[in-house]
Amino acid sequence: MSDFLKNYSKTFSDIAEDVKNITDTREDVVITKDNYREWSDASLYTGEGLRSLGARLKFPYDFVKDIYNSNPKLSEEIINDRAEQFFSREGNASYLNRTFNGMVEGVVSSSYNKFDDDKVIDLLEGTSIEGLNFRNNIITPSRFHVRGIDLNSRFSLDTDDSNVNRKSDMFFAYFIDNSMTGLSSFRVTLAIYRQVCTNGMIVGKEKFTVARYVHTGAKDYRNDFVEALSFLEDKKEDLKALVRTLDIEKADKFNEMREDYKKKFLRTSLGIGEKPSEKILELYGMYGGKTKWQLIQAVTEYARDVKDINRREFLETRAYNLVA
């Protein structure tokens, strides 16, 4: 294993311990018309928790947050008023406050099926995924996102293009997502991971989704998941063939655009500003500035430095969609 991956990776045991440290503090509170006033203090909620409460009770999160900073009593009155309207409207309905470390991290339906991160660990344990190296991990009560790299799947692209001076070995990877507060379903996606630049590509095709389970209805996912893993070799070969094709095919439509149109195309397609579009064009030139794969690499390398994981995943997916 390279020193690079050694220095920046975690094992499955590390991931499991991080999850345990969070789930050990988990406590769920059913909120009804009888106790909602006990939970109207905005300081009991994290930012994401207050946002999800606002979505359920129909109040603007940013407004209530700002009000709380200057007038906590008024923000409490607003939350109480919205909760009163909710229960008046919904009758005997209830919802669930999901608390971790004593703070409400999310507000979900009382019928929400809890497929929590400790269940994800149980599901992955004993499978081939347990032996991967994990990179770019975000593990919080509201967001579980890890990237498992298969170090035994190293491959590279065969090319005689002397302009491509930023090549590196690639690996198959599994991007694993979940949320204990309703922000994401559980899903495992097969992806490509580049060693040197540590950027990844997600192909927005259903065939490369290994598993996806929504948080509705009780179900034992173990057998389905193990069966899905048994078909991975075909998916890997398909993904490798796709990358090799992208490495050969020229990005003609993009290359024929004027420089200002290229930047406009990137801004519109990726939802970025002027400077990011210029950076991606610079990276594209450094990769060779010819093929679809080089354009994808330019976008995913830019995405690597984006801090928000949802935004990063969006860019990594859109990178492929630019040339599909």
Give 2's pLDDT tier (boundaries 50, 70, 90).
Answer: very low
Which is more confident, 24 or 110?
24
| Those residues with Cβ within 8 angstroms of residue 226's Cβ, 6 or more apart along the chain or in another chain | 127
* pLDDT for residue 112: 87
* pLDDT for residue 247: 87
- Report H helices in the chain: 3-7, 12-23, 47-57, 61-70, 72-90, 117-124, 222-229, 232-248, 252-255, 259-270, 274-287, 292-304, 309-321
Q: Which amino acid is at 44?
A: L
* pLDDT for residue 195: 60
Q: What is the mean pLDDT of residues 20-29?
A: 97
What phi and psi, each to the nearest 5 degrees, are found at residue 14?
A: -60, -45
CB 195 within 8 A of CB 169: yes
Range among 11-20, 135-144, 147-156 rated most confident:
11-20
- Residue listed under structure tokens 């970025």: 272
* pLDDT for residue 82: 95
Render pLDDT for 234-275 as a digit per residue (tens, 0 to 9). Answer: 888 888 888 888 889 999 999 999 999 999 999 999 999 999
Percent residues over pLDDT 90 in the chain: 53
Distance CA 250, CA 323 (A): 10
Distance CA 299, CA 139 (A): 25
CB 67 within 8 A of CB 81: no
DSSP assignment, residue 45? Answer: B
* pLDDT for residue 74: 96
Distance CA 44, CA 280 (A): 42
Predicted confidence (pLDDT) at residue 211 exceeds the cutoff of 90: no
* pLDDT for residue 257: 95
* pLDDT for residue 254: 95
Q: What is the mean pLDDT of residues 2-22?
A: 78
* pLDDT for residue 261: 96
C-alpha dist (Å) from residue 142 to 48, 178, 180: 8, 8, 6
Mean of pLDDT over the chain: 86
CB 201 within 8 A of CB 189: no
- Residue listed under structure tokens 């009382």: 110
Question: What is the full DSSP assignment across 215-234?
Answer: S-S----HHHHHHHHTTHHH
Render pLDDT for 48-70 as a digit per residue (tens, 0 to 9). Answer: 999 999 999 999 999 999 999 99
Predicted confidence (pLDDT) at residue 185 exceeds the cutoff of 60: yes
pTM over 0.75, yes/no: yes
Q: What is the mean pLDDT of residues 139-148?
A: 92
Distance CA 143, CA 141 (A): 6
* pLDDT for residue 4: 40
Question: What is the full DSSP assignment across 268-308?
Answer: HHHT--HHHHHHHHHHHHHHTS-BHHHHHHHHHHHHHT-S-
* pLDDT for residue 99: 98
* pLDDT for residue 5: 41
Which is more confident, 185 or 222?
185
CB 273 within 8 A of CB 259: no
* pLDDT for residue 166: 46
Closest CA to 201 of 296, 283, 285: 296
Render pLDDT for 150-175 as a digit per residue (tens, 0 to 9). Answer: 888 887 776 555 444 445 678 888 88
- Residue listed under structure tokens 């994800």: 120
